[in-house]
Amino acid sequence: MDIKIRDRKIDEGEFLKERKGVLSMWPTGKEVNLEEAIDYHKKLPDHKNFMKVAERLHREGKTVVFPRAGTPILEQEIELNQTLYESGLPLIPVTPDSYCRLLKFDKAKQGLEDSIRSGKPKLNGFPTVIHGVKNTRKVVESTEAALNQRMTNLDTRLMGEIAFAAGMTAGLQDPMIDFGCYEKNTTVEQIMRNSQYIYRLMGYYAERGAIITVDIDGMLPHGVFPLSVSIAGVVAVALLAARQGVKSIIPWSNMLGHIGQDIAWARLTRRLVREYLDRFGYKDTATPALFVAQVPIFPYPQDMGWSFGFLNYSAMVAAMAEAEGVYLRTIDEAAGIPVKESHAVSYRSAKWIFDVVREQKMKFDFEEIRVEERIAEMEIRALLDKVFEVGDGDLAVGLQKAFDLGFMDTPFSSNIHMKGKVLGVRDMKGACRYLDFGNLPIPKEAREYHQEKIAERERLQGKKPDYHTVVEEFWSFSKAHLIETKEKVYTVPASGKRVMKKAHTVITGTVGQDSHSIGSRLLSRVLKDNGFKVVELGGLTPPEEFIHAARETDASAILVSSLYGMAEFDLAGFKEACVEAGLQDILLYLGGYLVVGRHDWAETESRFKALGFDRVYPPEIDLDKMIDDLMTDLSARGKTKN
């Protein structure tokens, strides 16, 4: 592969020339006046500057919630942010809709117009690019909080331009999370280059006295998997950002449910990012805070009591790790994209934990934390050494080569360029261990440690952890335990339980601009276990691609996942398109977070059945029951026998 990207600071002339093309991507780009925006930033009060608020939280020893929140209608976005600030949140994200993130500006414009017309959100976030500088600045000026533009996917250059020109003083920009979690066909190189533009833009502001903070989230683990690869990515991206002149960086660490590991990973992330920045000469780049994230990707509890427990576990760990911020999902996460009321009650609950725990000023330091920190540090340093080695000292080249060779890897990624040769499971205490190291350059001592912990579990349980263990433990934390128990989420049926006349072909994937593919991946595995031929399309799949695949393979069913709340946009006319393609008899199944906002499931189910789907499922389902439903429906059409 010819790698063209280099870890070099973009020349100012080159940068300004590129900006002209970026600002022409949508009419609102004309509203950006860089010099006026810099002057505007300089006049903002300290409580609207993300870095200064983060520094204050660190000095005062406080933890706050940093949520995920965004809604398309301007007045409702303003009201949401005011509600969050009144709930004790001085730092607030502006989460964009998925169409803007993927440059589908025409669709975002239509979604915004439909939202305004109905008075209800039809997009899953705030379409910053469509609103432009003028309207987005109204959002900035209507709250006393410091705002952070969330930016994911391949190209968010125009979104960053508009957000910063409007007065937002921070933004998420991390090529690792984009590559591993939000893109399907894009390479690390392509995403790094666009990230360099955002970092250079932040550097341009900084050179003129306006500091914009970047937060770096790392590559989310798609399931139970040690965080070493993710943390190594956070360190590497911090260096890429600093190279372009970024002067304020907030690193993130994730929590996966084991207290010792969660605290160890958080502390290690803060320490190593600072160490590597200093080592490479970026001592003037501030790291004002550490943020941690609630167990990512995993299903959220349906039970209200468990939802509060899930939330407050995360709040407790954040306080124990002395993080300044923590991303928490609301108690309504399992019901759909949350509304402002669920945000408010959820964050008041977390604030109670923060206030009580941080006030005690206790230092949580026990042997298990120290051991986990030592092992993880060994792994992270080895990963970073390998990145620099294969890149001949160039960090950008090294990252691309490391992913190409599997030296950086994660399981269940939606991206076709990820090797995906690694797997993780928990040990008997619930800590995350490597089940399969793939090509990761994990040192011998660390490998043996993980292997010993898994062997201990095997001895105590009397069986080897395998892929089915991995599937079970994807669900376990939402069911109030860490490791696989006798109560299964799904079971592979005994031989002869289900008999088909032929091995039916089914199509699976996540529709539209939705990159959340892990649920679809697990579903595909269960279908294969039950004798189906599965064509996996993965995330970010256009509706027409499902239909084309079904025609080409003579499929019996299409099983569509959607987890970002905009299924109604994506699937309008889908049944009619199937009929037009000669697939009038194909079974259509749909499942996930299908609409924006809290909703009555019966009404949602009815709505999508009216669109032509034979079965419609909520986010958390019994996969074994779904297989039974599929067999029943196939049998009714004369395609199976008992």
Q: Which residues are catalytic?
A: 514, 516
One-letter amino acid at 593 equals Y
Cα separations in angstroms, 239 against 34, 191, 269, 544: 25, 16, 14, 41
Beta-bridge mates of residue 91: 146
Residue carrying the six token digits 């399931």: 223
Q: Choose among 272, 294, 261, 353: nearest CA to 63.
A: 353
Q: Choose among 605, 616, 414, 639: nearest CA to 519.
A: 414
- Is residue 556 a contact partner of residue 639, using CB atoms and an 8 Å limit? yes
Residue 131: CB atoms within 10 A of its CB come to 25
The separation between the first and the last C-alpha atoms of the chain, rounded to the nearest angstrom, is: 52
Which residues 6+ apart lie within 8 Å of 98 measured at CB? 123, 124, 125, 512, 513, 514, 564, 566
Backbone conformation region of residue 121, classed left if phi is above 0, alpha if psi is from -120 to 50, else beta: beta
Rounded Cα distance, 109 and 131, in Å: 9
- Is residue 153 a contact partner of residue 123, using CB atoms and an 8 Å limit? no
- Is residue 300 a contact partner of residue 337, using CB atoms and an 8 Å limit? no
One-letter amino acid at 89 equals L
Cα separations in angstroms, 533 against 326, 498, 530, 540: 42, 15, 9, 21
One-letter amino acid at 224 equals V
One-letter amino acid at 154 equals L
Which residues 6+ apart lie within 8 Å of 31 measured at CB? 132, 133, 134, 162, 165
Q: Choose among 148, 134, 131: nearest CA to 33.
A: 134
Q: For the residues of 433-457, what is the DSSP string, one character each?
A: EEEE-TT----HHHHHHHHHHHHHH
Q: List b or e across 306-319, with b for residues whose CB sees 16 or more CB atoms inside 10 angstroms.
A: bbbebbbbbbbbbb
Rounded Cα distance, 545 and 446, in Å: 43
Q: What angle, rounded to 10 degrees, do the helices at 12-23 and 157-166 form?
A: 90
The two three-digit tokens of residue 425, written as one number:
């499971």
Residue carrying the six token digits 């993965």: 538
Q: Choose among 389, 376, 434, 391: nearest CA to 409.
A: 434
Q: Choose among 360, 575, 401: nearest CA to 1.
A: 401
Residue 461: CB atoms within 10 A of its CB come to 13
Rounded Cα distance, 92 and 289, in Å: 15
Cα separations in angstroms, 307 against 67, 468, 593: 15, 25, 17
Which residues 6+ apart lie within 8 Å of 260 measured at CB? 366, 368, 369, 371, 372, 431
Residue 393: CB atoms within 10 A of its CB come to 9
The two three-digit tokens of residue 202, written as one number:
């932040």
Rounded Cα distance, 573 and 562, in Å: 16
- How large is the greatest C-alpha to C-alpha distance in the chain, in angstroms? 74
